[in-house]
Amino acid sequence: MTDAGSVRVAAPAKINCFLRILAKEESGYHQIETLYNAVDFCDDIELHRTERGVSVEVVGPSVGPDEENLAYRAAEALLESGGMTTGVHISLTKNIPVEAGLGGGSSDAGATLRALNVLLGEPFSADALLQIAGRLGADVPFFASGAGVALGWGRGERLLAIPGASVWPVLLALPSLQISTAEAYESLNVQECVAPASLALDALAQPDTLAELATNDFEASVFERHPELGALREAMHDAGAATARLSGSGAALFGLFNDRAAADRARGALSASWADVRFVVTETMTSQPEPIPTLTSS
């Protein structure tokens, strides 16, 4: 018999090409409308089957105790959901900064769900994975879906994948500042948020339309508390970005460019003026990386 002895998967960051906060529920959760785009800037995950329990080893920035690690929680939730007694060891190499609005923890969780399903012989359907993902966090279903681009609404857990989307060169600006999502929501005035624009889904595949739609309702409150981020966004515009926005609740920003050479030039110019900010040139993805099993024969 041939089984997967281990599974590797890249867990990409995301940007929100638009993010609108529509309302706050009595439960405290917020209703949103957003366009998720996966970008080729990834954490690396490898899963190994063990006899029992979940363990995790992290290389890179600390993400807190194991029990708070979303990859750990995802593996635990999937095993419990299936009533499985087998275990898994997670090796996680962190490249995506924490509390940056790039979805690093959620991506780790979604990628872990997909990879662990492969490791176990795919006993869970795609819908079952999404149900588990929805219990872990608002952004996790997007990453568990494997889609490269998706419209999200509700709390972010309701998704519609967008086929045929354009691939954009992206310049990520990664300040050392960290902003927790909870902090960003606490400072948000929903009444001042931008009203949702009507859109045709096929328009999301058009670069010019996407640049026009780009907005983020967190920007007003985040830039008021951290004006340097607003100045950085303007600098990215001035450096040639078709649009530049805060990603999620920040503190990372992204710029979309018409070609890779323009993004590279902008990185050079901005790096000279913003020495305390890391700039990364990458691109949006049409789909997320598939888990890759290492096969063992028995």
Average pLDDT of the segment spanning 245-258: 93
% of the chain surpassing 90 pLDDT: 67
pLDDT tops 80 at residue 2: no
pLDDT at position 179 is: 80
104-119 and 70-81 helices, crossing angle to 10° = 40
Structure tokens, 263: 């993004």
Average pLDDT of the segment spanning 195-204: 53
Domains, the chain, ordered by start: 2-162 (3.30.230.10), 169-283 (3.30.70.890)
Tokens 């995802």 found at: 74
Where is average pLDDT lowest: 63-72, 94-103, 108-117? Answer: 63-72
The answer to whether the beta carbons of residues 244 and 233 sit under 8 Å apart is: yes
pLDDT tops 50 at residue 1: no
* 14 belongs to the catalytic site: yes
For 254, how many CA atoms within 13 A lie in the half-sphere containing its CB? 32
pLDDT at position 30 is: 65
The model's pLDDT over 127-139, given as tens digits with 9 standing for 90+, comes to 999 999 999 998 9
Mean pLDDT, the chain, as a whole number?
88
Q: What is the largest CA-CA distance in the chain?
A: 62
Among 108, 139, 238, 276, which one carries the catalytic annotation? 139
pLDDT tops 60 at residue 219: yes
Where is average pLDDT lowest: 47-51, 65-69, 87-91, 140-144? Answer: 65-69
* 259 belongs to the catalytic site: no
pLDDT tops 70 at residue 75: yes
Question: Distance between CA 120 and CA 72 in Å, rounded?
Answer: 16
Average pLDDT of the segment spanning 114-124: 96
Where is average pLDDT lowest: 29-33, 54-58, 217-221, 282-286? Answer: 29-33
Among 14, 44, 94, 108, which one carries the catalytic annotation? 14
Average pLDDT of the segment spanning 257-280: 97
The answer to whether the beta carbons of residues 159 and 150 sit under 8 Å apart is: yes
Question: Distance between CA 289 and CA 8 in Å, rounded?
Answer: 10
pLDDT at position 88 is: 97
104-119 and 126-134 helices, crossing angle to 10° = 140
The answer to whether the beta carbons of residues 296 and 8 sit under 8 Å apart is: no
- β-pairing, 243-246 vs 253-256, is antiparallel
pLDDT at position 166 is: 84
The identity of residue 206, as a single letter, is Q
Tokens 């907005």 found at: 215
% of the chain surpassing 70 pLDDT: 83
